[in-house]
Amino acid sequence: MEEMLSKDVQAGLDAARIHRLRKQSRLRLEVNGRQIAVLGMWKTGFSVAVEDAPTLRGLVDLYDGATHLFQCLIVTAAQEADEMHYVFKRATPVATAAALDFERPTHAPVALIEQFG
């Protein structure tokens, strides 16, 4: 049995779903100093609300709370209902330490302990 909802009721349900996804998600984009909530993320892309970012393209930073996860190059993929889907052309993980230009021995000391006395 298929039920039909009026356009107003369907719009209200969609708005409530987007509101819930915004509140639940810790993920956010930072684009030109602007922060945009990410509604969902998968291996090849992510989605945001249409009213937040209808057309994004280029370099964006992806955060989980205060943790910088990726620097991404994105393109617009498709629009589904009130969500805009984007695809990663490149998603580079952000390093927490500088890259080494030498091989670190496996048994190298971690710190120097001086003897006092």
pLDDT at residue 80, rounded to an integer: 84
Burial of 54 (0-12, 13-18, 19+ CB in 10 A): exposed
**Can you read off the two tokens belonging to residue 108?**
């190298």
pLDDT at residue 1, rounded to an integer: 36
**Mean pLDDT value across the chain:** 83
- For the question of whether the overall pTM of this predicted structure is more than 0.85, the answer is no
pLDDT at residue 21, rounded to an integer: 64
Per-residue model confidence as pLDDT tens digits over 92-116: 999 888 888 888 888 888 787 787 7
- Domains annotated for the chain, with CATH where assigned, are 26-93 (2.40.10.430)
Band (63; pLDDT cuts 50, 70, 90)? very high
Burial of 69 (0-12, 13-18, 19+ CB in 10 A): middle
Dihedral over Cα of 43, 45, 47, 48: its sign: positive
DSSP state of 108: -
